[in-house]
């Protein structure tokens, strides 16, 4: 199933998962917060239901799924319809671009990174959150592929691959944090680096 259809049909399920796992959401938001520099003009690409944007104070999102966008709008986010590979914004329009757990729905990451870089100002920052398939819990995502519609067609990547692609796209990574070491809804530490936690947040600046 094309991911837009998937998220149109399952927006309620997606959003409810966070409702049921508030401590995992909190840990992920905290990891992203720790790598986020101050910003004045920010965009979240693939804003989804807007939970991260709302928590981080990002007022503008881009989203291809109307059902996901409806949730984000209810959370007070302005949402523009569109795709990461063709951002409908001017060059240098933002000083921060966020892209959180979107990369695993992109068969190729390079076109989206190129677009993020284009819309960032000279010293702008890209903040990414992603599922690190090379972390120990990555095996759980792989095992769940057959029965979980969110994972079936996902393009999971390890953090080393993401770092390599960022380098090729002209970004220098400045900060990395990791969290989520169990899928139980318990308090989870945010630590520097990657390799242990299945959720990785990083900040990269335009070189
Ligand atoms: C796992 S959700 C993440 C949503 C939100 N960032 C969050 O962390 O809760 C992935 C989102 O990426 C969006 N998406 C999928 N393909 C996309 C593309 N090519 N460009 C932009 N967004 C895309 C989906 O519609 C979905 O809302």
Model confidence at 107: pLDDT above 90: yes
- Give CATH for domain 3-206: 3.40.50.150
Query: Which protein residue has the closest C-alpha to ligand 1 atom 1?
Result: 101
Rounded mean pLDDT, 139-162: 94
Q: What is the pLDDT of residue 1?
A: 46
User: 105 in ligand 1 pocket by Cβ < 6 Å?
Assistant: yes
Rounded mean pLDDT, 8-20: 97
Which atom of ligand 1 is nearest to 18's Cα?
Answer: 9
Model confidence band, residue 65 (pLDDT cutoffs 50, 70, 90): very high
Model confidence band, residue 4 (pLDDT cutoffs 50, 70, 90): confident
Whether this model's pTM surpasses 0.75: yes
What is the percentage of the chain residues whose pLDDT exceeds 70? Answer: 100
Structural domain boundaries in the chain: 3-206
Rounded mean pLDDT, 151-175: 97
Query: Which protein residue has the closest C-alpha to ligand 1 atom 8?
Result: 100
Model confidence band, residue 170 (pLDDT cutoffs 50, 70, 90): very high
Q: Which residues contact 91 (CB under 8 A, 6 or more apart)?
A: 118, 119
Strand 42-45 and strand 120-131: the pairing is: unpaired
User: 101 in ligand 1 pocket by Cβ < 6 Å?
Assistant: yes
Q: Give the CA diameter of the chain.
A: 44
* Neighbour count for residue 38 (Cβ, 10 Å): 7
CA of 182 to the centre of ligand 1 (A): 23
Which atom of ligand 1 is nearest to 84's Cα?
Answer: 20
Tokens coding 82? 């569109």
- Express each pLDDT in 19-56 by its tens digit: 999 999 999 999 999 999 999 999 999 999 999 999 99
Q: Please give the Cα distance from 189 to 25 (Å, whole number).
A: 12
- Mean residue pLDDT of the chain comes to 97
**5 or 160, which is more confident:** 160
Model confidence band, residue 106 (pLDDT cutoffs 50, 70, 90): very high
């Amino acid at each position: 199933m094309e991911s837009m259809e998937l998220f149109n049909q399952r927006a309620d399920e997606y959003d409810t998962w966070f409702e049921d796992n508030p401590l995992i959401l909190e840990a992920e938001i905290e990891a992203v917060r720790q790598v986020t520099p101050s910003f004045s003009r920010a965009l979240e690409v693939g804003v989804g239901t807007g939970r991260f944007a709302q928590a981080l104070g990002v007022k503008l999102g881009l989203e291809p799924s109307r059902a996901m966008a409806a949730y984000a709008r209810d959370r007070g986010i302005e949402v523009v319809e569109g795709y990461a590979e063709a951002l409908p914004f001017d060059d240098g329009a933002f000083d921060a671009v966020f892209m959180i757990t979107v990369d695993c729905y992109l068969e190729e990451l390079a076109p989206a990174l190129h677009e993020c870089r284009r819309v960032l100002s000279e010293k702008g920052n890209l903040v990414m959150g992603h599922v690190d398939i090379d972390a120990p819990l990555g095996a759980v995502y792989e095992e769940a592929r057959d029965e979980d519609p969110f994972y079936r067609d996902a393009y999971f990547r390890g953090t080393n691959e993401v770092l390599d692609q960022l380098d090729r796209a002209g970004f220098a990574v400045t900060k990395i944090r990791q969290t989520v070491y169990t899928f139980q809804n318990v308090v989870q530490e945010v630590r520097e680096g990657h390799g242990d936690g299945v959720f990785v947040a990083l900040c990269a600046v335009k070189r």
